[in-house]
Structure 1
Amino acid sequence: MAVLVHYAPMSDRERIDAGDAPPSSAGEAHVGVDVGGTFTDVALHAGDALVTAKVPSTADQSVGVVEGIEAACERAGIDPRTIDAFTHAMTVSTNALLEGDGARTALVTTEGFRDVLELGRQDRPALYDLDAEKPAPLVPRRRRFTVAERATPDGIEARVADADVRALADDIRATDAESVAVSLLHAYRHLENERRVAAVLREELDVPVSASHEVLAEFREYERTATTAADAYVTPAIDAYLGRLTERAVERGVPNPRVMQSNGGIASASSAREHAVTTALSGPAAGVVGAAATASDAVDAAGLVTFDMGGTSSDVSLVRDGDAERTTDADIAGHPIGTPMVDVTTVGAGGGSVAWVDDGGALRVGPRSAGADPGPACYGHGGTEPTVTDANVVLGYIGADAALGGDLDLDAAAACDALERLADDAGLGSAREAARGVYRVANANMTRAVRRVTVERGHDPRAFALVAFGGAGPMHAAALAADLDVDAVVVPRASGVLSAYGLLAADERHDAARTHRTALADADADAVRAAYAELRESVLADVDDPEAARLTYAADCRYAGQSFEQTVSVHDFDPEAVARRFHDAHERAHGYRLDDPVELVTLRASATVERPTPTAAYDAAGDAVTGSREAVFDGAVRETTVYDRERLAPGTSLAGPAVLDGRESTVVVPPAWDGAVRPDGTVVLERGARE
């Protein structure tokens, strides 16, 4: 199955309606492919045309990726061998961490510190839950090994012996380990021992070896070790997958893939294979980049809240000044990841999330999902549990005659039956009442996620616009915005495959960091500049065209005695200027500043090679109204105008209630909301625009 949408001049569109593929446009062809749990999304930009496609994700993701590229090329009327660039986002790392099926990993650390992964931090996942348990470490105790060596913050006190490491290699080999993580005490500052251990193990063992000074050269032993273990845990899977994908791409004449990293920038496949943990949030990062590229100029707002609602979960992030917010303090499935990544908050509320009644009689939604097989009841694949998608069908937001994903015919009766059973369990009057409850509970879950990235971080969501994408996002966006008192919703033209589109717009980016702890007032400026020079060489070594790279520098600072840092930009290191920026940043984030001394903690450098954002012609015309149907808003049934979104001409004004049907996603415009179609096909919804 392939879902194909081609945005092209009208003459081409007429040929599409007649069954003919449009001719390709002159110019470079660039394809972006994002793999999700249910569908693999493709965006192909050739000349001034944009072709999108959805194909089912496959067990071996590389198979679905190639099928998606071939489907998009067939519709665009081009040969895959004419593609000039191929960018890819994947879920291999994420799935390995979430599902616990990564490589059998061994850990080598300093003698006496074997259990740092087990000890972690003193914080608990649920403060008042006496039965709460932390996730099991990625490396079980039987595969954790120690070596006699010692470093302090001041230098090496005891050097490692090669003979000890070679003996250790024999012990590791006996465990059938598929990868090894090496994280020695204070190796972020004095790496001689760790470098030697890693070198000997690479000589002795035929498995990947991840060293903490190469993965995360920063202090905090637990986070550094956990990140290095995660890198080793996912490296074999990433290496094998990218190897298969590259081979399949080359067979079809497609360029080697470039890979989206968690930081929102792309890198070569070889770089991703060497630094696998940097792909842990590949797909969600691509969506945020796509939102920033398509919506930053669509409305006058302080920034954007990105809202990506898929089949299993919803991802929320923040874009300010046209750039995604990033963090180095994140975790996936309870495992800390200290490398830079787009700051995404995820909740288990998606189109396939199952609605249920808890022991107290309350209606709940998620986090369990019906998945793609059997999927929601309305899919007609044997699913019987009520889901958010079923609720949207019963509420009239998805038409009974809709073909989800292009050729999946809906079973509206099955959706109604599932919601009837839920209504009986919850003591609600009807399937429609149950559906309304499911819709509101799902929105409440997502509202909390938005508040976490805005209110809890000192931002007023009312000053932002909400960018909705993903298969289900535009159906919930306006209701979600109303709950947050947000007045504008932006639905990009390629909203159903925006992560794939984001791959076309993403810049190349490489990051490096090194802990350099000192009182800021006493910092040796020459030493700091020398450290920045080394970081600059590190990031430029990964860049394809160093001459085209834009370099930026930053520093993590904190008040003396604090346990957390604030990142501020650095321009030709000046301690006084850095201190001023830190005081201002701390006050914005936390509401106060102190007269206490400021401590310099970590130095950061980034190299970015900008790529032009693709533009595609959009000149749809014709009668976009396809009819009307009953839909439920605020408990009342309203006759609702239905539009074919692909026929909405630029400049078209919309009045709610309305539904914009599309092959990839559906946009719901509630009463008291208006909409307008921008020249590029983006739909902007505004609340309370009419009297």
Structure 2
Amino acid sequence: MMSVRIAIDTGGTFTDLVLFNTNTDRLVFHKVPSTPEDPSTALVQGIMEIIKIAGVQNEDVQLLIHGTTVATNTILQRKGARAALITTAGFRDVLQIQRQDRPQLYNMRARRTPALISRAHRYEIKERMLFDGTVDSKIEVDQLHDLISEVKKQGIESIAVGFLHSHINPSHEQVVGEWIRARCPEISVCLSHELSREEGEYERFSTCAMNAYVQPVMARYLNRISLALSNAAFNDLPLYVMRSNGGVMSASEAAVQCVHTILSGPAGGVVAGLKMGLHAGKPHIITADMGGTSFDVAMIHDHTIAFARDAEIDGLALKAPMLDIHTVGAGGGSIAWIDSGGALRVGPQSAGADPGPVCYGQGGMAPTVTDANLILGRLAPDTILGGAMVLDPDAARDAISSKIANPLNLSLEAAAEGIIRVVNASMTAAIRKLTVERGFDPRKFTLAPFGGAGPLHAAELAQDMDIHHIIVPIAPGVTSAVGLLSSNMRSDRIRTYVRLLNQTQAKDIDDLLYELQSQAETDLSAASLASYTCRRYAGLRYFGQGYDLPVEISEGEVDMVALETGFNAEHQRQYGFARDDQQVQLVNLWVSVESEMTDQLMSPSDPVNTEPSPAYTRPVYFSGSWHDTPIFRRDHLTAGHTVCGPAIVEQLDSTTLIWPDQTAEVNTWGQLEIEKEK
């Protein structure tokens, strides 16, 4: 019997699918247009189409892994459930007050993002837990009767419960949670300590409120997928969902702790970037995922993915382990426009999947980045989806001429090239935010572009950042889906543990790390996987600081001297100084446990000595002039082939642009490695 695994990554414009046959080691790639009104429709349609393409049967499919944007879109579009918050008396306004900081210090019109739960639906009860977990005021459940009656009258679907210091002693939250679940099984209940065991009441309450707001929506979405799969004769098929931390979890767990899927979509691409770096021997990677609506950038240093310390979504705090991914509104569907000052702007508005760019012929009227690339010859009219979608260059020319070129008194080509330069500037700013602003030199990194539009823009991004090496994956347009198949089961456990390091015993840290590791392994035990790998971190800061830095703890017993030395070195690297004479404070402990789900997806190939032949040539616009440019088919290139620029490499899911001063070589893993000619 065949064993087939399918990964599905839902994007704003396309839904990407990758099928892996473990018996034959065959990978099959496919894309279908996304259905934003109900993403599950495109998901099931894509599964049916890809198994037909691969020539396998429904019963051969053993596993589905899904990267979804449902949680993210629910928050951004404010289309979540009618939710309530129950909190400690006197603290109902924590969600509104937030941290009292001013991110836009000189913006007199700045406004905070409204809380997901309105003040009218935030309720207080009398209870009090002290900072050390001591009960100061016991909770009386009798006060819940009137509160729940009011909640039912308001039609509340979900309740978030967040009390002070519950990350130290969660007993009061547990009492309230059990009481509500026993009497109101139709209402979802989220307890803050189950989502975060770290200090910071605002961050914990915000995370809990976010989970309560999204939970009913996510549960309904996953139920629709389950029903649609059953109707399509996929019975009892295991479905896993990508987590924001780069691992996967079961669909049932995702329905309960949906806040861990906020970065479900882009996380798969970062995992794929990590695998690419391992294959190519490149320890430092910048992943650049440019799709139809957004540009997601992440950093991998020494084969380790960076994690976010203080994450936010739409201005709201999120305290959950998640990859450090920075997103800007720059994609193939980003709309070009002229502002009131007469300057050319691109994005963040996007044409999305419907109506899409003007050249799609689906009713779009605003010129986009895709239209500009088509006019410049960088895209062919029959490039998208292997010719299944034919583009209209005349419509693109008319849109850019009338709305950009003529108002700015530019030629058509200059206007199109200007659109590309403006959107590239947004993307290089995003790359700098995760590298230069974090103390890393981007010149020491390799750029890994993917997404449908990433390889088209990679050469210019690398030039702007002075990055000398580019590596393009074998299937750029579906790389995030490939990353889903490469992901492991993963659980992260973090616990606040505030102590001065020189007053802490190594045994106490060892004991807590063992407890956290046991809890994380229990989280994964239901998957019945063979073995686990564990990484341990300590959050450290100088006494008096407000923010901590994660420092990895080596295997075995904790070495307190090495821990302090490692923190000083990391502080020196990030901030340019260290205070060796100042006391170091331990803030939290973090354990990450992983277990492999999938064997290696691809094997290296032996290089050949032949020269590749282009399929044809066409004029392409580079830096103010047209060049006759050879066009190569990606499926005709194999390990050892070299392509000198100017050139274009086309494939089903993406197009790679090689500039006149560049050379591309196919490595043994089938990846295109692009460098400047020496």
TM-score (norm 1): 0.93
| Residues 2, 60 of structure 2: 8 Å contact kept | no
| Residues 277, 284 of structure 2: 8 Å contact kept | no
CA offset digits 1:389-418 (Å, max 9, x no partner): 011011110123434564111110111111
| Residues 30, 45 of structure 1: 8 Å contact kept | yes
Shifted more, 628-637 versus 500-509: the winner is 628-637
Q: Say whether 1:51 aligns with 2:37.
A: no
Matched residues, number: 663
For residues 621 and 96 of structure 2, the distance between their equivalents in structure 1, rounded to whole angstroms, comes to: 51
Partner of 2:90 in structure 1? 112
1:267 aligned partner, one-letter code: M
Partner of 1:583 in structure 2? 568
For residues 133 and 144 of structure 1, the distance between their equivalents in structure 2, rounded to whole angstroms, comes to: 21
Shifted more, 188-197 versus 90-99: the winner is 188-197
For residues 168 and 53 of structure 1, the distance between their equivalents in structure 2, rounded to whole angstroms, comes to: 51
Partner of 1:166 in structure 2? 145
Q: Say whether 1:31 aligns with 2:6.
A: yes
For residues 136 and 371 of structure 2, the distance between their equivalents in structure 1, rounded to whole angstroms, comes to: 64
For residues 526 and 171 of structure 1, the distance between their equivalents in structure 2, rounded to whole angstroms, comes to: 49
| Residues 81, 216 of structure 2: 8 Å contact kept | yes
In the alignment, which of 57, 65, 74 is matched to residue 96 of structure 1?
A: 74
1:498 aligned partner, one-letter code: T
In the alignment, which of 129, 135, 138 is matched to residue 151 of structure 1?
A: 129
SS of equivalent to 1:415: helix
In the alignment, which of 556, 559, 582 is matched to residue 596 of structure 1?
A: 582
Partner of 2:172 in structure 1? 193
Partner of 1:231 in structure 2? 211
| Residues 625, 643 of structure 1: 8 Å contact kept | yes
Partner of 1:243 in structure 2? 223
For residues 303 and 665 of structure 2, the distance between their equivalents in structure 1, rounded to whole angstroms, comes to: 22
Partner of 1:184 in structure 2? 163
Partner of 1:121 in structure 2? 99
For residues 499 and 423 of structure 1, the distance between their equivalents in structure 2, rounded to whole angstroms, comes to: 33
For residues 283 and 606 of structure 1, the distance between their equivalents in structure 2, rounded to whole angstroms, comes to: 21
For residues 623 and 165 of structure 2, the distance between their equivalents in structure 1, rounded to whole angstroms, comes to: 59
Partner of 1:15 in structure 2? none
For residues 77 and 56 of structure 2, the distance between their equivalents in structure 1, rounded to whole angstroms, comes to: 38
In the alignment, which of 672, 682, 688 is matched to residue 661 of structure 2?
A: 672
In the alignment, which of 332, 349, 352 is matched to residue 313 of structure 2?
A: 332
1:329 aligned partner, one-letter code: D
User: Identical aligned pairs, as a percentage?
Assistant: 40
Counterparts of residues 467-546 of structure 1 (less than 5 Å): 467-543=448-524, 544-545=527-528
Partner of 2:592 in structure 1? 606
For residues 444 and 95 of structure 1, the distance between their equivalents in structure 2, rounded to whole angstroms, comes to: 25
CA offset digits 1:72-128 (Å, max 9, x no partner): 111111112112222111111111111111111101111001100000122234221
In the alignment, which of 635, 643, 646 is matched to residue 657 of structure 1?
A: 646
| Residues 405, 664 of structure 1: 8 Å contact kept | yes
| Residues 631, 638 of structure 1: 8 Å contact kept | yes
| Residues 242, 273 of structure 1: 8 Å contact kept | yes
1:85 aligned partner, one-letter code: L
Alpha-carbon shift at residue 311 of structure 1 (Å): 0.6
| Residues 539, 549 of structure 2: 8 Å contact kept | yes
Q: Say whether 1:220 aligns with 2:200.
A: yes
For residues 597 and 34 of structure 1, the distance between their equivalents in structure 2, rounded to whole angstroms, comes to: 46
For residues 666 and 550 of structure 1, the distance between their equivalents in structure 2, rounded to whole angstroms, comes to: 37
For residues 124 and 498 of structure 2, the distance between their equivalents in structure 1, rounded to whole angstroms, comes to: 27
Counterparts of residues 115-514 of structure 1 (less than 5 Å): 115-154=93-132, 155-205=134-184, 206-250=186-230, 251-253=233-235, 255-298=237-280, 301-404=282-385, 406-424=387-405, 426-514=407-495
Alpha-carbon shift at residue 331 of structure 1 (Å): 1.0
| Residues 217, 515 of structure 1: 8 Å contact kept | yes
For residues 342 and 545 of structure 2, the distance between their equivalents in structure 1, rounded to whole angstroms, comes to: 44
CA change 1:547–1:399 in 2 (3 A) is closer
| Residues 277, 283 of structure 2: 8 Å contact kept | no
Alpha-carbon shift at residue 648 of structure 1 (Å): 1.4
CA offset digits 1:400-447 (Å, max 9, x no partner): 343456411111011111111233454232111100100000001000
| Residues 400, 412 of structure 1: 8 Å contact kept | yes
For residues 546 and 494 of structure 1, the distance between their equivalents in structure 2, rounded to whole angstroms, comes to: 29
Partner of 1:74 in structure 2? 52
| Residues 33, 353 of structure 2: 8 Å contact kept | no
Alpha-carbon shift at residue 296 of structure 1 (Å): 3.2
Alpha-carbon shift at residue 237 of structure 1 (Å): 1.4
CA offset digits 1:307-363 (Å, max 9, x no partner): 000011100001123232112411111111110111100011100000111111111
Alpha-carbon shift at residue 513 of structure 1 (Å): 1.0
CA change 1:622–1:663 in 2 (3 A) is farther
CA change 1:403–1:307 in 2 (3 A) is closer
| Residues 206, 318 of structure 2: 8 Å contact kept | yes
Partner of 1:562 in structure 2? 545
CA offset digits 1:140-185 (Å, max 9, x no partner): 0000001101111131100100111233222222221111111101
CA change 1:97–1:425 in 2 (3 A) is farther
For residues 458 and 256 of structure 1, the distance between their equivalents in structure 2, rounded to whole angstroms, comes to: 42
1:598 aligned partner, one-letter code: V
Structure 1: 4+ residue segments shifted above 4 A:
616-624
CA change 1:198–1:417 in 2 (3 A) is same
Shifted more, 396-405 versus 501-510: the winner is 396-405
Shifted more, 345-354 versus 526-535: the winner is 526-535
For residues 274 and 53 of structure 1, the distance between their equivalents in structure 2, rounded to whole angstroms, comes to: 30
| Residues 622, 649 of structure 1: 8 Å contact kept | no
Partner of 1:40 in structure 2? 15
Alpha-carbon shift at residue 63 of structure 1 (Å): 2.5
CA change 1:135–1:459 in 2 (3 A) is same
SS of equivalent to 1:551: strand
TM-score (norm 2): 0.94
CA change 1:55–1:424 in 2 (3 A) is closer
For residues 312 and 106 of structure 1, the distance between their equivalents in structure 2, rounded to whole angstroms, comes to: 32
For residues 81 and 323 of structure 1, the distance between their equivalents in structure 2, rounded to whole angstroms, comes to: 37
Shifted more, 123-132 versus 150-159: the winner is 123-132
CA change 1:382–1:345 in 2 (3 A) is same
SS of equivalent to 1:129: coil
CA change 1:405–1:172 in 2 (3 A) is farther
SS of equivalent to 1:679: coil
For residues 524 and 261 of structure 1, the distance between their equivalents in structure 2, rounded to whole angstroms, comes to: 34
| Residues 308, 469 of structure 1: 8 Å contact kept | yes
2:602 aligned partner, one-letter code: T
Partner of 1:85 in structure 2? 63
Alpha-carbon shift at residue 302 of structure 1 (Å): 4.5
SS of equivalent to 2:31: strand
Alpha-carbon shift at residue 624 of structure 1 (Å): 4.6
For residues 641 and 588 of structure 1, the distance between their equivalents in structure 2, rounded to whole angstroms, comes to: 45
CA change 1:403–1:286 in 2 (3 A) is closer
| Residues 318, 343 of structure 1: 8 Å contact kept | yes
| Residues 477, 489 of structure 1: 8 Å contact kept | yes
1:260 aligned partner, one-letter code: M
SS of equivalent to 1:372: coil
Partner of 1:10 in structure 2? none
